[in-house]
Amino acid sequence: MPEVIFNGPEGRLEGRYHHSKVANAPIALLLHPHPQHGGTMNNKVVHTMFQTFVKRGFSVLRFNFRGVGRSQGRFDNGQGELSDAAAAIDWMQTHNANASDCWIGGFSFGAWISMQLMMRRPEINGFISIAPPASLHDFSFLAPCPSSGMIIHGSTDDIIPIESVDKLAQKVSAQKNIKIDYRVIDGGDHFFAEHIDVLSEHVEDYLDKALKSAA
């Protein structure tokens, strides 16, 4: 897949991009885990999501937040990373002006950023949030949540207690006209180290159902 460099708020950002051969294909932007804890666009969970969207005809971008890999800038506790994600979706829309749909996916820290971006970009009409850090960050901004989507978590996550994600999923699900497909992977830890195939199956299943119902 082609390596791309695009302009972000604090300099160049490095990404990997797949451009669909399908006319007016939907687009998907994928966000990686915490930059200060080893998170990069090559994270296994992010890469798994990337391949899932590619197989379904999407144009897909994953990229490194500022200060990661060859992306310029320094870690900015979420605010700057949110701006990076906005720049990434701008870049995607420039190259996919007639995209039929816009999805966003994020893992851990990336899930937190992705949900914030969704609140600011009404064109995002689907999301996949993997291990959202509900015990570390405030998700009260999802009021109301603008789109239906999927939340998935591991039952034995020792970084983000499942109880906090249970509450988040229940709170968002209670909102009018919003459907949250909340799935728990039995035995899964925060990184789904021994459950990456199971995670992939859940993401594929949800995405297939969501695309079918939207057709």
Q: What domains, with CATH codes, occur in the chain?
A: 3-214 (3.40.50.1820)
Whole-number Å distance between alpha carbons of 153 and 130? 6
The stretch 73-102 carries a mean pLDDT of: 97
Q: Is the pLDDT of residue 146 over 90?
A: yes
> What digits encode the pLDDT tens for the residues 160-194?
999 999 999 999 999 999 999 999 999 999 999 99
Distance CA 100, CA 97 (A): 9
- The mean pLDDT value of the chain amounts to 97
- Candidates 99, 80, 87; CA nearest to 63 is 87
Q: pTM of whole model > 0.95? A: yes
